[in-house]
Amino acid sequence: MKFGLYGINTGPCSDPDVASRVAKAAEAAGFDSVWTAEHVVLPDPQAPPSPAPPQMKLLDPAVALSFLAAHTTRLLLATGIIILPQRNPVVLAKELASVDRLSKGRLVFGLGAGYLKPEFQALGVPFGDRGKRTDEYIEAIVALWTQDEPEYKGEYVAFGAIQAHPHPVQKPHPPIFVGGMSPSGLRRAARYGNGWYGFALDLDATRHALEGLRAAEQRFDRSAALGRLEITVTPAGAVDADVARAYQALGVDRLVLLNPGRNADDQLRFVEKAGRELVAALA
């Protein structure tokens, strides 16, 4: 079982000194990765399904991970997740390739289609076609990262006769983790993902999602080139060693722990405790 740390760009970790201390502590404690959250904007006032108060501090994922690349040496640097249809895929491909270069090949590209309509409206992005956009944008980014002469022609993005260097360090490209539990999210993970990421899931929800993923892999003829679909989950509720082993028994490869600390000291205590009671215990 591998362990990651969620929210390295949010709350207390929106402060650079706290973020660097927490990331270094996570690396020293044996965590394999740190994960960012993303909302470009949040609805004000907060209303369902918005997950956070409008004043929540969220650094841009690519900027935060580039900063942390300079303060760590081993940790994987994961976007968990980027809301892909809200982004220009050509610009995002450059930003994330830059993170992978600056970190010497430590980027994990986690993505999702999003679900907050007010956020899409603020960005001027249609909400109804976000799934189709997400699929095209994945394909376009992979083309920019891997093709000698990048070319893509879709409904929402098209390019040719261009170059976008440098390419990422990782070959053929940084691992792509698709988030979401909807049927389209599971299909997208089976079709495009090196991994799948589920957020705030208990054991029953995780079991249900994994059943859906297995069915999607069979239905959509998953390419062997993608390798085995790696499963990452942020658990709902408290996690001890027994709970972690229960997730592991379901087939989960990595738990990304939500750090509840409200300040730097709380965050560091959580990392030290989890490192001792979970990371070391399940190594």
| Domain ranges, ordered by start, for the chain | 2-279
Q: What is the pLDDT along the chain (283 residues), one digit of tens a residue?
A: 999 999 999 999 999 999 999 999 999 999 999 999 999 999 999 989 999 999 999 999 999 999 999 999 999 999 999 999 999 999 999 999 999 999 999 999 999 999 999 999 999 999 999 999 999 999 999 999 999 999 999 999 999 999 999 999 999 999 999 999 999 999 999 999 999 999 999 999 999 999 999 999 999 888 999 999 999 999 999 999 999 999 999 999 999 999 999 999 999 999 999 999 999 999 8
pLDDT of residue 221: 81
Of 235, 247, 176, 189, the residue nearest 215 (C-alpha): 189
Q: Roughly what angle, to the nearest 10 degrees, separates helices 130-146 and 183-192?
A: 10
pTM: 0.98
Question: How far is the CA of 96 from the CAs of 44, 76, 153, 263, in angstroms?
Answer: 29, 13, 21, 29
pLDDT of residue 84: 98
d(C-alpha 135, C-alpha 229), whole Å: 18
pLDDT of residue 283: 85
pLDDT of residue 171: 97
Q: Are 92 and 145 in contact (CB under 8 A)?
A: no
**Helix or strand run (H / E) with residue 36:** strand 33-36
At the fourth CATH level, the homologous superfamily of domain 2-279 is Luciferase-like domain (3.20.20.30)
For residue 77, the cross-strand partners are 34, 107
